[in-house]
C-alpha cells in the first residue's frame, strides 16, 4: 500500500511517500480503506521526537491518528462493524508505528464510531482527535446548561469544536483569539476575547459575575490569568499545561472512546456541530500539511485526503 512514513525523527523533510507493508488485522480490529486523515500538532511533535519518552517508536513510522474510511475486513471477533461500514476513528495505541497517513489502517474497534452521514470524508476526518479532546475537556469541567464557559484558543482545531459542543450543551461561551478571528468566533456562537496582556480585565467586562468553567487548548499565561474569575478553582482543564493539576484542575490527553465519538457524530448529524475544514491536502503532500500546521494561525483543521472522496 502507499503511505507516508519516516525512518528517523526530524522536521517535515523526513517524511517520505511510497510503499509500505499492508496492515495485519487482529481479532478485535478492522481493516479500514482510508479516505482521509487530518493533521494535529501532536503528529509533527511525535515526528520530531518530542514524545519519545512516552510513546516508543518502531521505525519506519506511519504518522497520523485520525481516520475516516470504509471497513473492508472485520477481525474474527468483531461484531460492532461489518464490511462496507463508513467509520471515523481516533486510532491511537501505546506505541507509534502504524498510523493513518496511508491507504489502509488496522483500527481497534474501541477507537471507532460510525461516520456522520451529512459531512464529507475530509470534514469527518477532522473530528476524532480534536472533537474528542474538546468533548472530554468540557465533560471534565462539567460544562452545562446556563453556565459561562471560557475557551482558550477558540479558532484552533480543538477550540472550534469546544465552542460548538458547549453551545449544544446549553452554555454561554466566551473564547479567545486574535482580533482578525473575532467574527469567525461569533459565527460559531462564541463571544470573542483578544488574548494576551490585560485578558483578566476583558474577561471581567464580559463576565462580571465570573466564569463557571475554563478549558485551555493553547497553554501560556492566559488560562492562569483567567482563574481569578473562575468561581470553582477545580473547574479548569488544559491539554497544553500539566501545571493545571497543581491548581486543582484536570490535565487532558485525549483517550480513544467509541461512545464519546458516537456522541460527537450525533451532534454533527443534528446540525449542532459543524467541522471546520481549513484545507484539504493529498496524501503525497503530507509534508506540506505538517508545515502549514506548524505555522499556526489556522482556522479549524487540515485534512489529508487519500484516494476516492465520493
CATH number, domain of 112, equals 3.90.180.10
- Is residue 259 in some structural domain? no
Residue with cell 499545561: 241
Smallest CA-to-CA distance from 32 within 103, 97, 94, 93 is with: 103
- Is residue 261 in some structural domain? no
The shares of helix, strand and coil residues in the chain, as percent rounded to the nearest 5, are: 30, 30, 40
Encode pLDDT of 190-241 as tens digits.
999 999 999 999 999 999 999 999 999 999 999 999 999 999 999 999 999 9
Tell whether pTM > 0.95.
yes
Q: What is the extent of the structural domain holding 71?
A: 2-127+275-305
Smallest CA-to-CA distance from 73 within 105, 47, 46 is with: 105
CATH number at residue 195: 3.40.50.720
Could you give the C-alpha distances from 148 to 173, 194, 286, in angstroms and in order?
Answer: 6, 17, 38
- d(CA 82, CA 296) in angstroms, rounded, equals 38
Give percent of the chain above pLDDT 90. Answer: 98
Q: How much is the CA Rg of the chain, to the nearest whole Å?
A: 19
- Is residue 265 in some structural domain? no
Residue 227's DSSP bridge partners are none
Using pLDDT thresholds of 50, 70 and 90, give the confidence band for residue 250.
Answer: very high
- Is residue 310 in some structural domain? no
Using pLDDT thresholds of 50, 70 and 90, give the confidence band for residue 122.
Answer: very high
- Is residue 262 in some structural domain? no
- d(CA 19, CA 142) in angstroms, rounded, equals 46
| Residues 240 and 149 grouped into a single domain | yes
Report the number of distinct structural domains present in the chain: 2
End-to-end CA distance of the chain: 20
Give the cell for residue 44.
509533527
- d(CA 178, CA 193) in angstroms, rounded, equals 8
DSSP 102: B
**Are the beta carbons of 173 and 151 closer than 8 angstroms?**
yes
Residue with cell 496492515: 23
Environment class of 286 (CB within 10 Å of its CB; exposed 0-12, middle 13-18, buried 19+): buried
Is the model's pLDDT at 176 over the cut of 90?
A: yes
Encode pLDDT of 35-60 as tens digits.
999 999 999 999 999 999 999 999 99
Q: How many CB atoms within 10 Å of residue 4?
A: 27
Give the cell for residue 144.
452545562
| Residues 101 and 171 grouped into a single domain | no
**Are the beta carbons of 253 and 42 closer than 8 angstroms?**
no
| Residues 188 and 116 grouped into a single domain | no
| Residues 145 and 116 grouped into a single domain | no
Residue 292's DSSP bridge partners are none
Residue 307: the pLDDT is: 84
Smallest CA-to-CA distance from 212 within 186, 174, 247 is with: 174
User: Cα 142 from chain centroid?
Assistant: 19
**Are the beta carbons of 278 and 296 closer than 8 angstroms?**
no
Is the model's pLDDT at 252 over the cut of 90?
A: yes
Is the model's pLDDT at 297 over the cut of 90?
A: no
- Is residue 21 in some structural domain? yes
Amino acid at each position: 500500500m502507499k503511505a507516508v512514513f519516516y525512518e528517523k525523527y526530524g522536521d517535515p523533510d523526513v517524511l517520505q511517500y511510497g510503499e509500505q507493508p499492508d496492515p495485519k488485522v487482529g481479532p478485535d480490529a478492522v481493516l479500514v480503506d482510508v479516505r482521509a486523515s487530518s493533521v494535529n500538532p501532536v503528529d509533527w511533535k511525535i515526528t520530531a521526537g518530542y514524545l519519545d519518552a512516552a510513546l516508543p517508536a518502531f521505525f519506519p513510522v506511519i504518522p497520523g491518528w485520525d481516520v475516516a474510511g470504509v471497513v473492508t475486513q472485520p477481525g474474527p471477533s468483531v461484531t460492532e462493524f461489518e464490511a462496507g461500514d463508513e467509520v471515523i476513528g481516533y486510532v491511537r495505541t501505546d506505541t507509534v508505528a502504524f498510523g493513518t497517513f496511508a491507504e489502509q489502517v488496522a483500527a481497534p474497534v474501541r477507537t471507532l464510531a460510525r461516520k456522520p452521514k451529512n459531512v464529507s470524508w475530509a470534514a469527518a476526518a477532522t473530528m476524532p482527535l480534536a472533537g474528542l479532546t474538546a468533548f472530554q475537556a468540557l465533560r471534565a469541567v462539567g460544562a452545562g446548561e446556563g453556565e459561562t464557559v471560557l475557551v482558550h484558543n477558540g479558532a484552533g482545531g480543538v477550540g472550534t469544536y469546544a465552542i460548538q459542543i458547549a453551545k449544544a450543551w446549553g452554555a454561554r461561551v466566551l473564547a479567545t483569539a486574535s482580533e482578525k478571528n473575532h467574527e469567525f468566533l461569533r459565527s460559531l456562537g462564541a463571544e470573542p476575547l483578544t488574548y494576551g496582556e490585560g485578558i483578566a480585565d476583558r474577561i471581567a467586562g464580559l463576565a462580571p459575575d465570573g466564569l463557571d468553567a475554563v478549558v485551555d487548548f493553547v497553554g501560556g499565561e492566559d488560562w492562569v490569568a483567567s482563574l481569578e474569575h473562575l468561581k470553582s478553582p477545580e473547574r479548569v482543564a488544559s491539554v497544553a499545561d500539566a501545571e493545571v493539576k497543581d491548581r486543582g484542575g484536570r490535565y487532558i490527553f485525549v483517550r480513544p472512546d467509541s461512545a464519546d465519538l458516537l456522541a460527537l457524530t450525533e451532534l454533527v448529524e443534528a446540525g449542532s456541530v459543524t467541522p471546520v475544514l481549513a484545507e484539504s491536502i493529498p496524501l503525497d503532500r503530507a509534508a506540506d500539511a505538517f508545515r502549514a500546521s506548524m505555522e499556526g494561525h489556522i482556522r479549524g483543521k487540515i485534512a489529508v485526503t487519500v484516494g476516492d472522496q465520493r
